A and B are shown apart, each in its own frame.
Chain A
Amino acid sequence: MTEKIKKVVIIEDEDQLGRLIQSYLEQHSYRAIHVRDGANGLKKIREEVPDLILMDLLLPRVHGFDICQAVKKDPKLVHIPLIVMTAVYKTAMDKLEAERLGVDFFIEKPLDFAALLKKINKLTSDEPVVEPEPDSQTETKPYDTFKSAPETQEEAMDEMEEQLRELQQDYAEQLPAKIEEMEELWSTIQNSKNNYKRLARLRKMSHKLIGSGSTFGFDEITENAQQLELILDMVIMEGEQTLVRRKDSIDSLLDNLRLHPVVTTGKQLRRMKL
């Protein structure tokens, strides 16, 4: 008799990671469906009624905790095992909240794929689950890795700083691709006519860097992006001649962005100024 193929819905807004998990699970005979935000995740869960839900917590549109709550309140979905993965919600308080909401397993990022697969296999198995003895060394219990709750305000802020640095790291890792996209767009603009939409798009991308650069601790990114946006505003208003006149300035600013240490290495290079 053919064994039923188990279905997993993966809700992960980091596209590369989501696709990686999807590919990994499919190599291990799961049918894996990847969605990128909480609202679509909930919709997909209701459509597919999967054998397991694997999700990030910090999701766009609907938070992972809200998804947990919705799933556990729905009689059609309450039976589905929930694994959450997170880089930032790792404190004892977060663990308690996850437990309260019915999460079956909590895994920290960066992921140990082998451990994750082992857990998914166990939670989707048709065999009765036999929990290991408490002193077993075969796997850690779901919440063993968490620190105890902060005792002081200072400790709570230290934890938040750590979580912010992890977000800073994520931002730094994605920045090279964004700058590369801007450079490619600029290259297209220089070789094309009727560039209003492309220029508007490049300006929008600059604008986003203004808002995010300093927020994540990279002031030079914001500064260069501010100058770039100003010049692009002029080019958009004044037209082709201004584009020609300002070409070198735009080249220079994009070079500054491309050569910023965080872009060249994609790594967090300094502690976020907090």
Chain B
Amino acid sequence: MNVSNLKKILLVDDDPDLQKIARLSLEKKGGFTVQVCDSGNQALKDVTDFLPDLIILDVILPDMNGMETLSELRKLPEAAQIPVFFLTARVSPQETKKYQELGAAGLIRKPFHPMKLSDQVKELWEQI
């Protein structure tokens, strides 16, 4: 997909430190508009208000995990087609395969480099 179509990102991660650094990186270097939330349930509410172009989703979340959140997002008409990238330290071959089977469009590994995060996002977006 053309990166010019990527403007708004919903970031779902419950770690406040990572929220801040990821947001700074995506906004300042990537030029994206970023909204942050800290749980799967909050993501389901925010996605209908914010209507992001992309959702970046942590796997370990306090309520529903990232995979459950993705399944629930796909039930919402407003979110069913929004690409989702997982952002996670859980990247074994089995886990990666699971993310793909669930329909994730990309995977960003934690820990990430804050100066490279937005470039990674753009590269993955262009591969969709």
Contact = CB atoms under 8 A, between A and B. Distances in A.
Q: Do A and B come from one complex?
A: yes
Interface of A: 13, 37, 39, 58, 60-63, 66, 88, 156-157, 160-161, 163-164, 167, 170-171, 174, 204, 207-208, 210-216, 222, 272, 274
Contacts of A160: 24, 28-29, 115
Contact of B24 (A39, A66, A88, A214): A88
B18 interface: yes
B21 A216 contact: yes
Interface stretch (B70-78, B106-114, B119-127): B106-114
12 contacts: A60-B19, A63-B23, A160-B28, A167-B21, A170-B20, A208-B15, A210-B89, A211-B111, A212-B15, A212-B17, A212-B110, A274-B115
SS class of chain A's interface: helix, strand, loop or mixed? helix
Contact of B112 (A161, A215, A274): A215
B89 to A, nearest CB: 5
B96 interface: no
A58 B37 CA distance: 13
Interface centre among A61, A170, A174 (most CB of B within 10 A): A61
B24 A167 contact: yes
Contacts of A157: 29, 115
Given A164-B114, A210-B110, A215-B110, A60 B21 contact: no
A105 B24 CA distance: 22
B57 interface: no
A219 to B, nearest CB: 8
Contact of A164 (B15, B16, B21, B34): B21
A60 B16 contact: yes
A222 B112 CA distance: 11
B36 interface: yes
Interface in B73-128: 88-89, 110-115
A204 B10 CA distance: 23
Nearest to B38: A60
Contact of B18 (A161, A163, A215): A215
Given A170-B17, A210-B89, A211-B15, A61 B110 contact: no
B27 to A, nearest CB: 9
Contacts of B6: none
A157 B24 CA distance: 12
A213 B111 contact: yes
A13 B17 CA distance: 10
